[in-house]
């Protein structure tokens, strides 16, 4: 356990700029842009705001201070339920970071010859590869969730300050809402779901990273796409009835899109109506949390996870043999 902890720390130290500072910089830029929008929006006496009223109507208009005060409860409930949505770019960025980290994790150490140094240490190939998988599947998502939560809270605080300037104080409404506390906890609770759905992609990328002599990206992306093109060509030329949609959905999609949070709704679950709140106007964190865990009821996610674990094992064997 101590060795694994040290290996993860070493990986984090080597890729701190990519896995930590990149999300922090993006979150900072998002917060600055949001602050600039609030400053520009506060130049008028009315505040431009969009929220979902209790009757399901979406209000997006210039509201006076009196109107905001009259709808304080509805606005506060909407803000408490949706404030984490402001961090969506960070969660999309997570998919990109995990993808490229996994793809370069074993390839770069062979290219810069640092593999020879690390192999001289009393550390097993299995421990090294598993530490890289743990960093991709656990540590990086935890960092992103923490940064996204802080950025969302900061933007929510700025919005409350802007409304306070207009004479409406939302602090009590927000702090008294259960959704304000449950939303980030639900996102954290989705980490096991993310790990299982991302495992095939991470396993595939680590295997390619350990195998490819050059142009790892082309091998990782090109091989599944070329296989799909060949299957389509066989269907067209020879009148075969191969299920290309199944191939794209269950093989190519699972290999290339699994690192994107929420990809399980596209790859394994499509009950979009169940994601909505009671008004049916926007997705709720409770609906997303429940439906995400329900995707684990199908066999597809477990077969994919088993395949991902098998590919990680292959990556361990390849790292042991390929030092050139």
Q: pLDDT, tens digit, for every residue of 146-166?
A: 999 999 999 999 999 988 887
Query: Above 90 in pLDDT, residue 48?
Result: no
- Picking from 282, 322, 30, the residue whose alpha carbon sits closest to that of residue 148 is 30
Please give the Cα distance from 106 to 219 (Å, whole number): 14
- Cα angle 197, 198, 204; round to 5: 120
Q: What is the pLDDT of residues 247-298, one digit of tens each?
A: 888 899 999 999 999 999 988 655 655 666 555 556 778 889 999 999 999 8
Please give the Cα distance from 22 to 139 (Å, whole number): 15
Among 158-172, 207-221, 278-292, 295-309, the range scoring the smallest mean pLDDT is 278-292
Q: pTM for the full model?
A: 0.87
Mean residue pLDDT of the chain comes to 85
> 99 versus 67: which is more confidently predicted?
99
pLDDT of residue 282: 62
CA-to-CA separations, 134 to 127, 139, 324, in angstroms, rounded: 10, 7, 25
Alpha carbon of residue 319 to chain centroid:
28
Q: pLDDT class for 322, splitting at 50, 70, 90? A: low
Please give the Cα distance from 200 to 306 (Å, whole number): 8
Among 57-66, 134-143, 255-264, the range scoring the smallest mean pLDDT is 57-66
Q: What is the pLDDT of residues 25-37, one digit of tens each?
A: 999 999 999 999 8
pLDDT of residue 225: 95
Residue 306 · residue 99 · CB < 8 Å: no
């Amino acid at each position: 356990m101590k060795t694994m902890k040290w290996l993860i720390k070493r990986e984090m130290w080597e890729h701190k700029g990519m896995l930590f500072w990149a999300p922090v910089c993006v979150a900072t830029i998002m917060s600055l842009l949001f602050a600039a929008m609030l400053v520009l929006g506060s130049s008028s006496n009315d505040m431009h705001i969009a929220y979902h009223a209790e009757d399901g109507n979406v209000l997006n208009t210039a509201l006076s201070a009196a109107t905001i005060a009259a709808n304080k409860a509805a606005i506060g409930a909407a803000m408490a339920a949706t404030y984490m949505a402001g961090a969506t770019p960070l969660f999309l960025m997570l998919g990109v970071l995990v993808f490229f980290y996994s793809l370069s994790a074993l390839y770069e150490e062979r290219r810069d010859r640092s593999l020879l140094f690390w192999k001289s240490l009393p550390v097993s190939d299995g421990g090294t590869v598993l530490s890289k998988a743990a960093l991709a599947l656990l540590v990086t998502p935890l960092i992103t969730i923490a940064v996204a939560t802080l950025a969302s809270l900061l933007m929510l605080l700025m919005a409350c300050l802007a409304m306070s300037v207009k004479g409406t104080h939302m602090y009590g409404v927000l702090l008294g809402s259960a959704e304000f506390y449950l939303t980030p906890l639900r996102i954290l609770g989705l980490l096991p779901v993310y790990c299982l759905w991302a495992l095939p992609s991470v396993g595939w990328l680590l295997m390619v990273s350990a195998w490819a002599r050059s142009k790892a990206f082309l091998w990782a992306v090109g091989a599944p796409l070329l296989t799909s093109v060949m299957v389509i060509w066989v269907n067209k030329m020879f009148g075969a009835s191969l299920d290309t949609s199944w191939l794209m959905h269950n093989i190519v999609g699972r290999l290339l899109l699994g690192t994107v949070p929420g990809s399980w709704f596209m790859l394994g679950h499509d009950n979009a109506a169940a994601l909505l709140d009671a008004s049916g106007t926007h997705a709720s964190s409770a609906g997303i949390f429940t439906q995400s865990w329900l995707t684990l009821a199908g066999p597809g996610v477990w077969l994919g996870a088993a395949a991902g674990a098998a590919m990680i094992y292959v990556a361990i064997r390849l790292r042991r043999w390929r030092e050139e």
